[in-house]
Amino acid sequence: MPAHPPIAELLDGAVDLHCHSGPNPFAREFDHVEAARDAQRLNMRGILVKSHHHNTVMDLLAMKRELTDVRTPVFGGVALNAQVGGINPYAVAMSLRMGGRAVWFPTFSSRCHCENDHHGFPESEIDIPNRIVNVVDADGEFVDGVHEVIDLIVESDALMSAGHVSPAEARKLFLAGRDRGVRRMIISHPNFVIDADPAECVEFAELGAYVEHEVGMYDPMGFRKWDPQLLLDWIRKVGPDHTVLSSDLGQRGRPMPVDAFLRVGAELLDRGLGIDELKQVTSRNAAFLLGLDDERPAPVGS
């Protein structure tokens, strides 16, 4: 295998679109300030902090003083689960107009998530009621509020995530997003909870969406320890120009995001991923999705 520069050098300027720092009802290993300080080790251009339960923009505003001297900027958003009222344009408008960069359609309140018995999510330290939040009705049409939410995302040029909805629902969201002018779209961990196959993800990419995989799942010292070869196979099938690597870390007892990025990045290089491809999936694509760059990155090798 050809020698390459140190992995930390290659990951300099990476972006993490899926950080589960606290505060949160789920037990967390670190808070948003500690996440940003960890990200400084790679001079990360930005991180996006996600809660399944609440609007993280408010957290960051409360932590503004502590974040002043941290080089890596931190951004928030809102997930449309039962805890914020489900498909709630009012919650979306508040989050985005106060500086939010992302809207996640239902995650652990989605029908797909609630009816999937194999996701192994962490449990809350307190009893928090949940309910299914549908994005489509019995006839397969969007429920009230979906189009309004999409239009608010367009207004702020924010990131639209399909959350944990089914592949069929994600396709419908991406079609609507494309047609209504959303520029930044993503689907997370397609082979976890959602059960989308590579062919479906290629179709999502053709609609303008990016496919996100989480280094926390492939970290040899992490929780799931999935084979990094599986991740490389996904990158090859969908393409590095449409793939994003994020951490999905913050859960108590799991690795720090930077450590997982370093280990999984090195594993991918050892298995044949190119240096330029690595930078595409860890930095350039995510920088566009987070709004740090205004235009989509050029294809690898162009």
Q: Is residue 237 part of a domain?
A: yes
- Show the beta-strand stretches assigned E in the chain: 15-19, 46-49, 74-75, 77-79, 102-104, 159-161, 184-188, 209-214, 243-246
Q: Is residue 154 part of a domain?
A: yes
- Show the beta-strand stretches assigned E in 123-267: 159-161, 184-188, 209-214, 243-246
Two structure tokens written together for 78:
């809102």
pLDDT in tens, the chain (302 residues): 557 789 999 999 999 999 999 999 999 999 999 999 999 999 999 999 999 999 999 999 999 999 999 999 999 999 999 999 999 999 999 999 999 999 999 999 999 999 986 566 777 778 899 999 999 999 999 999 999 999 999 999 999 999 999 999 999 999 999 999 999 999 999 999 999 999 999 999 999 999 999 999 999 999 899 999 999 999 999 999 999 999 999 999 999 999 999 999 999 999 999 999 999 999 999 999 999 999 999 999 88
Q: Report the CATH number that the domain containing residue 234 is assigned in CATH.
A: 3.20.20.140
Q: Is residue 1 part of a domain?
A: no
Q: Are strands 74-75 and 77-79 parallel, antiparallel or unpaired?
A: unpaired
Q: Is residue 199 part of a domain?
A: yes
Domain of residue 30: give its range. 7-289
d(CA 160, CA 187): 9
- CA-nearest of 223, 151, 156, 155 to 189 is 223
d(CA 50, CA 241): 24
Domain total of the chain:
1
Q: Is residue 299 part of a domain?
A: no
Q: Is residue 101 part of a domain?
A: yes
Task: Give the predicted TM-score (pTM) of the model.
Answer: 0.96
Q: Is residue 296 part of a domain?
A: no
Q: Is residue 295 part of a domain?
A: no
CB atoms closer than 10 angstroms to residue 113: 23
